[in-house]
Structure 1
Amino acid sequence: MADFVREVMTPGVVAVRPDASLVEAAQLMRTQDIGDVLVADGQRIVGVLTDRDITVRAVAEGIDPLTVSARSVCTPDPVVIGPDDPVGTAVALMRTHAVRRLPVVEDGLPVGVVSLADLAVAEDPDSALAEIGRAEPTGGATA
C-alpha cells in the first residue's frame, strides 16, 4: 500500500477560468477524457467542477450551460491536500467532507488530484472500485 498522496494521485491539473461557460468546461472534460476540472483564478483554486455538477446543478435546473459560469456551479473553496500528506489523511478528509476528489497542492500551486478511485487502487487493487478506477473510459457508454 502507498504511504503518501504523491504515490497515488493523478499528476497534472486541468483547469478552467471562473468565468468559463459550462459548455467550455464540459468540452474540456470530453477532450481530456476526465470527469472534473479545477476552477482557478490564476494559480488560486476557487472550486472543483465535476460533470455531475454540470448535470445536477445546471442542466437539471434548466439553466443554459452557454450562459452560466463554472464559478456559479462548482463546489467552492475545495478541501485540498499536500502530496507529502499520508494517504490516510486523504481518506479521512474525503470521509469527513463527503467528497470524491481532492486537489493536491504543493507550495500553493495545484499539482494533481487524488480521487476515491486512486485510493481504492492503492488500498485494495482487487476491489470492484479499483477495477472501475483502472478501466479505460468507453467514450459512449450510457450506463
Structure 2
Amino acid sequence: MSTHAPTVRQFMTLDPVTIDGGLSVADARQRLFQTHARHLPVYVGGHLVGILSDRDLARVAAVDGFEDKHATAEQACTPSPYVVGPDTPLAEVAQVLADQKFGAALVMQEGHLLGIFTVIDALHALVTLLRPVTASLGADPHAATDPAHDHGRDPRETALLHSQALHDDLAHAAAGVRVGLDTVGGSVDLRSDAGRRSEIRRAGRTVTGRDNSDKT
C-alpha cells in the first residue's frame, strides 16, 4: 500500500455515539434525532453486534404489528457491519460502500471503535481532495504540466493535476484538428453546414491518400 494514499483515518468521524442493544427502538430513534446521526453502532455486553441506521428503523416500522416500545435496537439493527482498519485506503472503502450500497463503515483497531466513515464523510473527503487541485489549476494553469512544480506537492494532488493536464492536451489537440479543417480550401463557405461537410470529406480523403478534389 502506498504511504501517500489517503486512508479512512484522515476522514472518519471520531468517537461515534454508540447505543446499547437492549435500548428500545423508540429510544434509539430518539437518540438518532438528538445526535443528528444516521448510523449508531450497537453494543451488547461490551461487544459490537451491529449498526442501526434510519433505514433500519424505517424497515422495521413497515412490519405489521411492530411496536417501537417492545422491539430492541439489537433486533432492529443490521448485524455484522462493515468493519475496516484505520489505515485502509480510502479508495478501497469507498468502492465497497458504493458496490454494496452500505451507508457506513466502522473503523476499529484491536477491538476498539475509533470512528465511523459514512457516505457523507466520503463526500467531505472528495471535496477536500479536489479543492486544492481546482485552486492550483486556477492560479497557475502551467503548473499541472511542469514537473518542477511537483516537488513537495501531495502525490494525490500531483496525480489529479497530471490527469487534468492530459485532458487539456487532448482538448487542445482536438481544437487544432478543427482549426486545420476550418482553414483548408479558403474558397468554401464554412459557415454553412454543407460547406463544412464538404471540407471534412476533403480532409479525410487527403489523410487517407485519396484524390484531394471534391467530386461531390
Gap regions ≥5 residues in structure 1: 127-143
Q: Which residue identity is paired with 1:4?
A: T
Residue 28 of structure 2: which of 25, 29, 51 is its match? 25
Q: Which has the higher contact order (CA 8 A, sep 6+)?
A: 1
Q: Which stretches of structure 1, 4 residues or longer, exceed 6 Å deviation after superposition?
A: none
Name the counterpart of 1:118.
121
Aligned-partner Cα distance in 1 for 2:11–2:45: 26
Quote how far apart the aligned CAs of 1:95 are: 2.7
Q: 1:59 maps to which residue?
A: 61
Identity %: 27
Q: Secondary structure at the match of 1:61?
A: coil
1:98 Cα shift? 1.9
TM-score (norm 2): 0.54
> Is this contact kept in 1: 2:6–2:90, CA < 8 A?
yes
Q: Within 5 Å, give how 1:1-143 maps onto structure 2.
A: 3-55=6-58, 57-62=59-64, 63-125=66-128
TM-score calculated relative to the size of structure 1: 0.79
Instruction: State the distance in 2 between where 1:2 and 1:8 align.
Output: 12
Higher helix content, 1 or 2: 2
> Residue 22 of structure 2 contacts residue 44 of structure 2 at CA under 8 Å; is this kept in 1?
no
92-101 or 117-126, larger mean C-alpha shift = 117-126
Closer/same/farther in 2, CA of residues 66 and 120 from structure 1, 3 Å limit: same
Please report how far the alpha carbon of residue 2 of structure 1 lies from its aligned counterpart in structure 2 after TM superposition: 7.2
State the distance in 1 between where 2:20 and 2:77 align: 11
Let me know the Cα RMSD of the aligned residues: 2.1
| Residues matched between the structures, number | 126
**Which one has the largest radius of gyration?**
2
Indicate conservation of the 8 Å contact 1:2/1:123, yes or no: no
Contact 1:43/1:109 (8 A) holds in 2: no
Contact 2:23 2:72 in 1 (8 A): yes
Q: Is the 8 A contact 1:3 1:86 kept in 2?
A: yes
Structure 2 residues without counterparts, runs of 5 or longer: 131-216
